């Protein structure tokens, strides 16, 4: 798969995830928040809780679903980027890390509190 096609597919999955979460009452704060430490696909607000969302699209489940594809290194990069975002926010509020996994058929699996920031 070409790089451009992969980026387009990823952007489509992020858009679908954002629409899905907004339909569940969350508000979009930021999309593709980037730092030197990492990137967060979506930053949402869930009634005062800051939600850092990793979006995964899997065309083939032979290698595991979207949530299983987030290893320790990726979690460290996500939490480092989230820490920077949180610090820039300038106020205390609860936060969590969610995963939205989208399969080849477009089915959405929303995993709240998918992992801790440790």
Say if residue 11's pLDDT is above 70: no
Q: Of 67, 76, 29, 31, give the one whose Cα is nearest residue 49.
A: 29
Domains of the chain: 3-115 (3.40.1350.10)
Joined tokens for residue 34: 């980037």
Q: Of 72, 67, 48, 46, give the one whose Cα is nearest residue 56.
A: 67
* pLDDT greater at residue 88 or residue 10: 88
41-78 per-position pLDDT tens digit: 999 999 999 999 999 987 665 555 566 678 889 899 99
Three-state SS for 17?
A: helix
What local confidence, expressed as pLDDT, does residue 5 receive? 47
Average pLDDT over residues 12-34: 94
What local confidence, expressed as pLDDT, does residue 59 receive? 66
79-112 per-position pLDDT tens digit: 999 999 998 988 788 999 999 998 878 889 999 9
Structure pTM? 0.86
């Amino acid at each position: 798969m070409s790089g451009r096609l992969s980026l387009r597919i990823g952007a489509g999955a992020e858009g679908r995830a954002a629409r899905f979460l907004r339909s569940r009452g969350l508000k979009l704060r930021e999309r593709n928040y980037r730092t030197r430490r990492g990137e967060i696909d979506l930053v949402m607000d869930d009634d005062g809780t800051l939600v850092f969302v990793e979006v995964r699209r899997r065309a083939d489940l032979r290698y595991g679903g979207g949530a299983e594809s987030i290893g320790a290194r990726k979690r460290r990069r996500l939490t480092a980027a989230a820490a920077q975002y949180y610090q820039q926010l300038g106020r205390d509020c609860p936060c969590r890390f969610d995963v939205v996994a989208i399969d080849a058929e477009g089915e959405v699996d929303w995993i709240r509190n998918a992992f801790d920031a440790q």
